[in-house]
Amino acid sequence: MRISLLNRPLFNSFFGIMDIKQGALLIVAFGLLNKIAGVYGLFGALFSGGTIGQLSFYLYSTVTLAGFVWGLKAISEEQTTNVFKFSHLYILDHLVTTFYTFLFSIVWWLYIPHDGRRVSNSPAQAAMIALAKSRGELLGEDLSDEERVRIAESLWDHEKIFAVFVLIACWALKIYFALALYSFASHLKHNSYRGLPMTNTSSTNMSSIGSNSAIPMMTTTTSSPNHIRSGSNGREEDEEEGKDVFKWDSEDEEGESSNKPKTSRRADERV
């Protein structure tokens, strides 16, 4: 069965624990760190010396740094076409770095002697080694050359197996990263990204945070007065619910108030 990366996304999340867009941003962030390290390596190779392979690889990392910055912007803004283009660029970058990794591995496995000798790559490193040697801080100085070679080769026999495993695991991991980028681009193309479970979970968490930060509204209730109409004199008396009844503090105050003239207002009656 033929599967097209452009029409059918392979993944709906990043390792099943993260939103696929957040995973894509994380992939580009790791790539940016790798490219920035290449920039520092280029300066080191220019001032301290390096092989043609090292210089070309560091120069390639410096040039492609701009492409990863552009890809980060495309993924953040969910630009479908540009995300597809960056996915192609990521595959191409993986092929180029695979070539350099294979080249450096061949040199490291076959041409670099693993005999335990300390090799300085710059005059500064040579000065540091000489200083440590003068202070007696270097280990294994009392070993003979044969003993040093035997111990170093024994360590390398154990380390090279683990080194092969790490190289293969990193190579396969970058293949997964590329497929995740294509899956995110495909979801954007088919407008299915917003319906993914991890995406809905992230949106729900953000909305709940926003709702919890909102200020609750306060509501007040007022009681309406009860209008009681007296049938004998046509007067209207308004009594409000919940209104306290006034009481006199003493009988004298009540008597003084009763002696005051009272005025009454009658409404004109119209027939």
Please write the tens of the pLDDT for every residue from 180-206: 999 999 999 988 888 888 776 554 444
Whether residue 82 is contained in a domain is answered as yes
More reliable by pLDDT, 120 or 53:
53
Structural domain span for residue 39: 20-116+146-200
How many domains is the chain built from?
1
Whether residue 90 is contained in a domain is answered as yes
Dihedral, CA atoms, 127, 130, 135, 139, nearest 10 degrees?
A: 120
For 141-164, the pLDDT digits (tens) are 666 777 778 888 888 888 888 999
Whether residue 4 is contained in a domain is answered as no
Whether residue 244 is contained in a domain is answered as no
Region of residue 6 (left: phi > 0; alpha: psi -120 to 50; beta: else) = alpha
Q: Closest Cα to residue 104, out of 153, 56, 54, 36?
A: 54
DSSP state of 110: I
pTM of the predicted model, to two decimals?
0.66
Dig out the tokens for 40 from the structure.
Answer: 């520092």
Whether residue 136 is contained in a domain is answered as no
Dig out the tokens for 144 from the structure.
Answer: 């003979």
- Average predicted confidence (pLDDT) for the chain: 75
Alpha helices in 9-144 (DSSP H): 20-48, 52-76, 80-106, 123-134
- Torsion sign over Cα 168, 24, 97, 176: positive
Whether residue 150 is contained in a domain is answered as yes
Whether residue 240 is contained in a domain is answered as no
Whether residue 268 is contained in a domain is answered as no
